[in-house]
Amino acid sequence: MKKLTALAFVFASVFAFSQESVDQKVENLLKKMTLEEKIGQLNQYTGDNAATGPITINANKQNEIKKGLIGSMLNIMGTKYTRQYQDLAMQSRLKIPLLFGLDVIHGYKTTFPIPLAEAASWDLDAMELSARIAAVEAAASGIHWTFAPMADISRDPRWGRVMEGAGEDTYLGSKIAYARVKGFQGNLGDVNSVMACVKHFAAYGAAVGGRDYNSVDMSNRMLWETYLPPYKSALDAGAATFMNSFNDLNGIPATGNSYLLRDILKGKWNFQGFVVSDWGSIGEMVAHGYVKDNKEAALSAITAGSDMDMESNAYRYNLEQLVKENKVPVALIDDAVKRILRKKFELGLFDDPYKFCSLEREQAALNNPEHTKAARAIATKSIVLLKNERDVLPLSKGLKTIAFIGPMVKPKRDNHGFWAVDVKDVDSTYIVSQWEGLVNKVGKKTKVLYAKGCGVEDKSKEGFADALNVASQAEVIILSIGENFNKSGEAKSKSNLQLPGVQVELIKELQKTGKPIVILINAGRPLIFDWVADNMPTIVYTWWLGSEAGNAIADVLFGDYNPSGKLPMTFPRTEGQIPIYYNHFSTGRPSFNEDKNYKSAYIDLPTTPKFPFGYGLSYTTFEYSNLKLSKKTMKNNESITVSLNITNTGSVKGEEVVQLYLKDRFGSVVRPISELKDFQKITLNRGETKTIQFTIDNQKLSFYNNALEFVSEPGDFDLMVGSSSADIRLKDSFELVK
Ligand code: NOJ
C-alpha cells in the first residue's frame, strides 16, 4: 500500500512537472507571437485534393503557411504531402508546426465496418482495436488528428449520418464513444496515436425530420438525459478535441452557442482541449440568420468558445479588427491559441515536426496483415442475422452449385461505405468483394454462378432472365442487394428508405423458382423492406463491412463464424413510423396487444417496429434462467447484484449479447418504458452454461429531473434481461428506498 502511494506520488509529480513544462513552453511561445500569428493558429484550411465540403476559399495557402497564418490543414494525407506542407510551416518565423486532421472514421487504408455496423457487434474491445489500427495507419501517413468519433445519438434513419454513429441508444453510444477514443488516442504523443475529435457538439443527430444540417429543438432535460452523455463519455476517455455541429440548438447555432461550449463543455465538464468548428459552420451562422456577416460570425464563435475555424475564413479576416475595436479581448484569443499549441506540444511536434512523416513506417503500417485479420474479425461480428426460419444458414460446404446474384456481388468500392477517404483509386485499395470472398471460401468444389439481375437503382428488368437462368442451375441462391454506399453519409438524408429500383421484384421472380434464397442487405442505415421481411425466410443485414467484407460475409454464410450482431437502431416498418425508438416515454394512452381504440398508435400500422433495437439471431439458441437479485430493496449508497444463467441450447458454439433493461415505474418526470443499462457479450460452447452478473447502482437509477439535477428517486423499478429490447426472457423488480 505504502509502495503504491509513493509510486502514485512520483507519477503525480512527473505528470505535474511535464504539464507545467508544456504550459510554460506554451506561455513562452505565446509571448513571441504577433496577434496575426496567434490568429493564424486558429485557422484551418482544406488541402485541394480531397475536399470533404464545399470549398469557398481561394486562398494562397502555401504562402500563408510560410507566413504563419495557418495552424492546421485537413485533407492532406500521406507522408510525402504532409512533409511538403510541414516544410512550408518550417519556413515561417516561429516555425510552429502544422496539425494535419482527417476524417479517419472507420479505418484508413484498411477499412473497418462503418461505425453503425461496428456498433452492431456490441463488442467494445473490437471497436477499440479497429480505432487503434486506424490510428496506427493514419499516424504513419502523417495524420495527427482524426475527426472521430461521432457521438451523436440518432433516432431517425432518414438522416444519412446514422452510418457514422453508434445508433439510437445513449448507454450503448456512450460505451462505444469511450472505446473509440481510447483506441484512436492510445498513448497520445507516441507515433502510433492520433488525437480524437468528438463530434458534433451537440445533438446533431436530432436534426428535425432527419434532414442534414437542419435545426434541433429539444428540451434541456432531453439534451442532458439522452444526447449529451456519449460526448461526456468520450471526454472521460480523454478526448483531446471536440467539433461543434452545424445545427442550431433551440435557436442558437451550436458554433456560437455559449451554453454548449462555455458553460457545459469548457465549464462544467472542464474540457482542456480545443474546439474546432465544423466545415464553414462559423460563416454559416449568417445563413442561419443569427449574425449579419462573417465578422459578427467570428465574434459570436470566438466568444462562445469555438477555438479553430475550419474553412470559414471568418477568424483570419475579422479577429484582428474585432480586437482593435475592443470587441474581442486578446485574452480570449490567447486562450484558444494556448489550447491548440498545448496539443502540438503534447504530440511532440515541436521536438520533431516530421515525427509522423516516416516513409518506412508508413509502408509497414499500411501493409500489415494483422490489420486485415482484425478487419475480418470485426466485420464478421458486425453482421446481423435477421431471419433464418428454415435453417437455410449456415450453408453446407458440400454444395455443388450456388447462384450468387445481385448488384452488390461484384462491386468493390461500395463495401467500404461512406467516409473511406483514402479510396481514390479502387484498384489500389484493399477490398475483398463479395464475389471474391465467396469464391475463396468454397474453392474448386463448388461451382458459383453469377448474374447481376439488375442495377441497384435500375428500372429495367432486362437482367432478370439471366438471373433466373443461373438460379435454375443452382441448389441455393444468394442474393446481394441494398442501397449504394453513397446514399448514406454526410448530406445523404433520404425520405424514401425502401429498397431501390426493381430489387424487390427480382426477389419475387427468384422466389418463384422455389429454391432456398439467402438475402444479403447492404446499406449504411436501417432500410425499409417490409414485404421482404414478411415473405423471405433468410435475411442477413451486412451494412458496409470494409476491406474484408467479402471474406466476412462468406465466413458467416458457411458457419465459420456464428453471427452475433444485434441491431443498434430500431428498424421501422414504414417511413411513417419514424422517429421510432425503443426507449420512448410512457404515454397516457399506451397501446398494448394492438388495441388501438383511443390509444396512442397509428391505426394503419402495428405498434411494433419491423425489427427492434438489440435484435439479432444466431445459429444456436440461448436459454436464460435462474435470475437472482442479491436484495429487493436498496438505498442509494448501496447496490444490487443481479445474476443469471445463460445456456447454449443449440448445436454450435455461439456468442450472445445479454442485455439488461430497467424501467423506473414512476418519476417526477415521465420515464422511458425501458432503458438499456448494461450488457455483456459472452461466448458459450454448445451445451455450456455460464453465470453472469450485473451490478445495479445508484448511477443506473438516476436521471435528469426538471431542475436538471441528476438524481434517483425512491420507488419501484422493473428489471428485464433479454436477447433484445423486445425479447425479454427474465423479469423481476426491486425498490429504491431512502
Ligand atoms: C463536415 C462534417 O460534418 C464533419 O463531420 C467532418 O469532420 C468535416 N466536414 C471535415 O471533413
Residues 6+ apart with CB under 8 A from 326: none
Of 123, 278, 309, 664, the catalytic one is: 278
Name the β-bridge partners of 447. 401
Q: Which domain holds residue 643?
A: 622-736
Query: What's at 90, amino acid-wise?
Result: M
| HSE-CB of 221 using CA atoms within 13 angstroms | 13
Residue among 48, 147, 246 to mutate when testing ligand 1 (max atoms within 8 A of CB): 147
* Contact predicate 525/417, CB 8 Å: no
Question: Cα–Cα distance between 212 and 525 in angstroms, integer?
Answer: 14
Instruction: Check residue 561 and report its DSSP letter.
Output: S
The grid cell for 433 is 468483394
Does ligand 1 have an atom closer than 6 angstroms to the CB of 164? Answer: no
Secondary structure (3-state) at 540: strand
Q: How much is the pTM?
A: 0.96
What is the 279 CA–ligand 1 centroid distance (Å)? 6
> Same structural domain for residues 557 and 679?
no
From 520, 547, 577, the end of a domain falls on 577
Q: How far is CA 161 from the centre of its chain?
A: 9
Looking only at the bridges linking them, the beta strands covering 43-46 and 72-74 are parallel
The grid cell for 439 is 469464391
Identify whether 595 is a catalytic site residue: no
Question: Cα–Cα distance between 737 and 714 in angstroms, integer?
Answer: 5
Domain total of the chain: 2
Query: What's at 405, amino acid-wise?
Result: I
Torsion sign across C-alpha atoms 10, 16, 20, 23: positive
How many other C-beta atoms lie within 10 A of the C-beta of residue 533? 17
Name the β-bridge partners of 635. 737
Instruction: Check residue 494 and report its DSSP letter.
Output: -
**What pLDDT shows up at residue 8?**
53
Task: Give the mean pLDDT per block of 10 residues along the chain (738 residues).
Answer: 49 53 96 98 89 77 96 95 97 98 96 98 98 97 98 98 98 98 96 98 98 98 98 98 98 98 98 98 98 98 98 96 98 98 98 96 94 98 97 96 98 92 65 97 96 97 98 98 97 98 98 98 98 98 98 98 98 97 95 90 96 98 98 97 98 98 97 98 98 98 97 98 98 97
> Same structural domain for residues 488 and 548?
yes
> Same structural domain for residues 673 and 560?
no
**CA-based angle 519:622:382, to the nearest 5?**
40
> Same structural domain for residues 425 and 488?
yes
> Same structural domain for residues 513 and 637?
no
Give the burial class of 575: count Cβ atoms within 10 A of its Cβ; 0-12 exposed, 13-18 middle, 19 or more buried. middle
Task: Give how far Cα 162 sits from Cα of 56, 127, 212, 529, 679, Å.
Answer: 27, 17, 11, 18, 22
Does ligand 1 have an atom closer than 6 angstroms to the CB of 339? Answer: no
How many other C-beta atoms lie within 10 A of the C-beta of residue 491? 11
What is the 146 CA–ligand 1 centroid distance (Å)? 10
Secondary structure (3-state) at 253: strand
CATH number reported for the structural domain that contains residue 467 in this entry: 3.40.50.1700
Query: What's at 414, amino acid-wise?
Result: D
> Same structural domain for residues 400 and 535?
yes
* Contact predicate 177/231, CB 8 Å: yes
Does ligand 1 have an atom closer than 6 angstroms to the CB of 52? Answer: yes
- Hey, which bits of 566-685 come out as E strands? 622-629, 633-635, 640-648, 654-664, 675-684
Question: Cα–Cα distance between 279 and 585 in angstroms, integer?
Answer: 35
How many other C-beta atoms lie within 10 A of the C-beta of residue 657? 23
Q: Is 9 within the bounds of a domain?
A: no
Does ligand 1 have an atom closer than 6 angstroms to the CB of 678? Answer: no
> Same structural domain for residues 636 and 693?
yes
> Same structural domain for residues 563 and 429?
yes
Q: Is 698 within the bounds of a domain?
A: yes
Grid look-up 471526454 returns 235
Does ligand 1 have an atom closer than 6 angstroms to the CB of 362? Answer: no
Looking only at the bridges linking them, the beta strands covering 72-74 and 703-704 are unpaired
Residues 6+ apart with CB under 8 A from 232: 174, 269
From 577, 606, 631, the end of a domain falls on 577
Torsion angle, alpha carbons of 328, 331, 335, 337, to 10: 80
Name the β-bridge partners of 450. 404
Angle at which helices 124-140 and 170-185 cross, to 10°: 40
> Same structural domain for residues 535 and 443?
yes
> Same structural domain for residues 637 and 544?
no
> Same structural domain for residues 643 and 536?
no
Q: Is 672 within the bounds of a domain?
A: yes
Any alpha helices (H) in 33-114, and if so which ranges? 35-41, 61-66, 79-89
**What pLDDT shows up at residue 2?**
45
Grid look-up 423471405 returns 536
Residues 6+ apart with CB under 8 A from 88: 62, 65, 66, 98
Minimum CA distance residue for ligand 1 atom 4? 278
What is the 553 CA–ligand 1 centroid distance (Å)? 30
> Same structural domain for residues 439 and 521?
yes
DSSP, residue by residue, 451-492:
E--S-TT----TTHHHHHHHHHT-SEEEEEEE--GGGSSTT-
Minimum CA distance residue for ligand 1 atom 3? 278
**What pLDDT shows up at residue 57?**
62
What is the 356 CA–ligand 1 centroid distance (Å)? 23
- Hey, which bits of 472-616 come out as E strands? 476-482, 517-522, 538-541
Q: Is 41 within the bounds of a domain?
A: no
* Contact predicate 648/685, CB 8 Å: yes
Q: Is 603 within the bounds of a domain?
A: no
Q: Which of 454, 475, 366 is nearest to 136 (CA)?
A: 366
* Contact predicate 694/642, CB 8 Å: yes
The grid cell for 280 is 464553414
| The ligand 1 atom nearest the CA atom of 148 | 7
Query: What's at 67, amino acid-wise?
Result: K
Residue among 194, 199, 204, 306 to mutate when testing ligand 1 (max atoms within 8 A of CB): 199
90 sits in which H/E element: none
CATH number reported for the structural domain that contains residue 701 in this entry: 2.60.40.10
The grid cell for 36 is 496575426
Q: Is 644 within the bounds of a domain?
A: yes
Does ligand 1 have an atom closer than 6 angstroms to the CB of 213? Answer: no
The grid cell for 479 is 442474393
**What pLDDT shows up at residue 395?**
98
Q: How far is CA 738 from the centre of its chain?
A: 39
| The ligand 1 atom nearest the CA atom of 197 | 7
What is the 52 CA–ligand 1 centroid distance (Å)? 7
* Contact predicate 424/47, CB 8 Å: no
Question: Cα–Cα distance between 166 and 151 in angstroms, integer?
Answer: 7
Does ligand 1 have an atom closer than 6 angstroms to the CB of 147? Answer: yes
**What pLDDT shows up at residue 429?**
75
Torsion sign across C-alpha atoms 692, 698, 699, 701: positive
Does ligand 1 have an atom closer than 6 angstroms to the CB of 279? Answer: yes
Q: Is 275 within the bounds of a domain?
A: no
| The ligand 1 atom nearest the CA atom of 147 | 7
Whether the link from the prior residue into 407 is cis, omega within 30° of 0, is no
Q: Is 451 within the bounds of a domain?
A: yes
Question: Cα–Cα distance between 471 and 477 in angstroms, integer?
Answer: 6
